[in-house]
Structure 1
Amino acid sequence: MSLDLDKGRDEVAPEELTAVPVRHWGRWIGAGLVIALLAMVVWAFANAKINWNVVGDYLTYDRIMEGALNTLWITVCAMVLGLVLGMLLAVMRLSDNPVLSSVAYGYIWFFRGTPVLVQLVLWYNLSYIFDTVNLGFYKNEMNDVMTPFLAALLGLGLNEAAYMAEIARAGIKSVDSGQTEAAQALGMNGTKTMRRIVLPQAMRVIIPPSGNEFINMLKTSSLASVIYFDELFRAGDTISSRNLAVMEMMMVVSVWYLLLTTVFSIGQYYLERHFAKGSDREQPPTPLRRLRQQLTTFRTKSRVGGETV
């Protein structure tokens, strides 16, 4: 009797389950509100008292182009200075030598604790307290030495070094200590271990915030206009004082900043992918690959649909 019951149970087919997707009405309402808000902003600017012809005419104006190049140049130079000095400060901060560690900590404390604008003005007005620069082999007036470019380079670069030092220190500490012990067991000294073992692995942690710092430096360079360095913002401000098209010139400056930050954001993306090679996580497809996959899927569906019809 029990065998017959078991046989009957086996013959009963399970019911088919129908998966019903959950509808998130709040998401659609939120998306609709955001789109409506963006449409209102675009409509407001499209009907504002802005002469868009002036914006188009001055996008490739010689003075604007020169200011954009100066912005790019001071950003690269200041970032290189901040990166090199920041790596040195990070190593000093992690040193067992109390003097080196204290000096590095004091540097980071001072430059992170004072605004960049104040530092720029201090460097530019250094001639008030030092009339001349006398290095023994070189002597000159401070006003001739401390040009707007040099003041901007020191103000931006030395300030950036304090932040890069903390970023580099976090990257170095993220590397497992066993890596250093293994390198020492193989006979490597401290310098070679840092250069060949620790830093290549630490770059995975250092690169993302460093890229953000570079983009932030690109925008922070506009503060150099207060010390008369002819960068992008100062170029637009000077032109607007002549043609009185203040909003139009600020639009031009904004377009150039957006263009530069977009280009370097793309570069940062691929640089992060390069240093992430060898990690356990699988790298997501690049935007170009995703676009190709979507186009391939669309073409395949179109062919299948055409054959079906």
Structure 2
Amino acid sequence: MGNIQWEYFFNFRLAIESFPYVIQGIGYTLLISLVSMFFGLLLGFFLALGRMSKNLLLQIPARGYISFMRGVPVLVLLFILYFGFPMLGINFTAVTAALLGFSLNSAAYMAEINRSAISSIDKGQWEAAASLGLSYWQTMRRIILPQAIKIAMPPLSNVLLDLIKGTSLAAMITVPELFQKAKIVGGREFDYMTMYILVALIYWGICSIISVLQNYLEKRYEVNE
């Protein structure tokens, strides 16, 4: 430990001077994570319904998709979209590839969360809704989903946190998000340690804000019960 040069561990001056440049990448970080969350949640909902369906033509493809996306690293998926698809004549910008990759991947995890939340609702409520003449979609929208949302909220919030942190992988396909900006400064100043610690603190701050919002929404749902 005595040989460690602690003055090179974190350069406070460099961190302060570089912060305005690094923080410019927060726009792409939030864009990719929030848009991917929206489309992943939308696709995940229909995947969950397919996964729960008794129709094998819906159930088997849904199961296959969920299994594949949960078993493939996001980075591999990003490379396929950004570097592989051009060989087929299909070109995506780095941002588009990131949006597609994170949306498609996160949908698989959200599908399982949605399926679990919907399945946890007592079947008697479906039967009661049917006796009132409500259709499947009316029952889903008015009775099942409002209850399932509360159950699914904590794990879905965790998916959002993972998306925010996972956007750092988009730097590997040249998206100018937070981590990419930090790498540029680190290479220029020959001080990667300071920049990596700085970007870690920024990610921590963003995730802390999301966690506060999650707690607020959970308490609000409890009050409205």
User: What TM-score, normalized by structure 2, do the two folds share?
Assistant: 0.93
**Is 2:219 the partner of 1:236?**
no
The answer for the alignment partner of 1:81 in structure 2 is: 39
Per the TM alignment, residue 274 of structure 1 is displaced from its structure 2 partner at its CA by 2.1
The answer for the alignment partner of 1:208 in structure 2 is: 154
Per the TM alignment, residue 245 of structure 1 is displaced from its structure 2 partner at its CA by 2.1
In 2, Cα distance between equivalents of 1:198 and 1:277: 19
SS in 1 for 2:204: helix
The answer for the alignment partner of 1:272 in structure 2 is: 218
Per the TM alignment, residue 212 of structure 1 is displaced from its structure 2 partner at its CA by 0.7
Paired residue type of 2:101: G
The answer for the alignment partner of 1:29 in structure 2 is: none
Per the TM alignment, residue 277 of structure 1 is displaced from its structure 2 partner at its CA by 3.6
- Compared with structure 1, are the counterparts of its residues 278 and 177 closer, same or farther at alpha carbon in structure 2 (3 Å cutoff)? farther
- Compared with structure 1, are the counterparts of its residues 277 and 178 closer, same or farther at alpha carbon in structure 2 (3 Å cutoff)? farther
Q: Would the aligned equivalents of 1:68 and 1:256 in 2 still touch at CA under 8 Å?
A: no
Per the TM alignment, residue 126 of structure 1 is displaced from its structure 2 partner at its CA by 3.4
SS in 1 for 2:88: coil
The answer for the alignment partner of 2:85 in structure 1 is: 127
In 1, Cα distance between equivalents of 2:208 and 2:53: 38
SS in 1 for 2:54: coil
Which residues in structure 2 correspond to 1:42-191 (within 5 Å)?
A: 47-49=6-8, 50-59=10-19, 61=20, 63-131=21-89, 142-143=90-91, 146-191=92-137
In 2, Cα distance between equivalents of 1:204 and 1:46: 50
Q: Would the aligned equivalents of 1:58 and 1:252 in 2 still touch at CA under 8 Å?
A: no
Paired residue type of 2:17: D
What is the CA deviation profile of residues 108-160 of structure 1, one whole-angstrom value per residue up to 9, with x for unaligned ones? 011111111111100112334411xxxxxxxxxx33xx000111011111000
Residue ranges of structure 1 left out of the alignment (5+ in a row):
1-44, 132-141, 280-309
CA RMSD of aligned residues (A): 1.7
In 2, Cα distance between equivalents of 1:127 and 1:161: 21
Per the TM alignment, residue 275 of structure 1 is displaced from its structure 2 partner at its CA by 2.5
In 2, Cα distance between equivalents of 1:185 and 1:162: 33
Which residues in structure 2 correspond to 1:216-295 (within 5 Å)?
A: 216-277=162-223
Higher helix share: 2
What is the CA deviation profile of residues 279-305 of structure 1, one whole-angstrom value per residue up to 9, with x for unaligned ones? 5xxxxxxxxxxxxxxxxxxxxxxxxxx
The answer for the alignment partner of 1:288 in structure 2 is: none
What is the CA deviation profile of residues 36-57 of structure 1, one whole-angstrom value per residue up to 9, with x for unaligned ones? xxxxxxxxx9954332111122
The answer for the alignment partner of 1:303 in structure 2 is: none
Residue ranges of structure 2 left out of the alignment (5+ in a row):
none
What is the CA deviation profile of residues 230-289 of structure 1, one whole-angstrom value per residue up to 9, with x for unaligned ones? 11101100111112121121122112111101111100111112223455xxxxxxxxxx
Higher relative contact order, structure no. (Cα contacts within 8 Å, ≥ 6 residues apart) = 2
SS in 2 for 1:210: helix
SS in 2 for 1:96: coil
Q: Would the aligned equivalents of 1:83 and 1:164 in 2 still touch at CA under 8 Å?
A: yes
Per the TM alignment, residue 90 of structure 1 is displaced from its structure 2 partner at its CA by 0.5
- Compared with structure 1, are the counterparts of its residues 113 and 278 closer, same or farther at alpha carbon in structure 2 (3 Å cutoff)? same
Paired residue type of 1:148: A
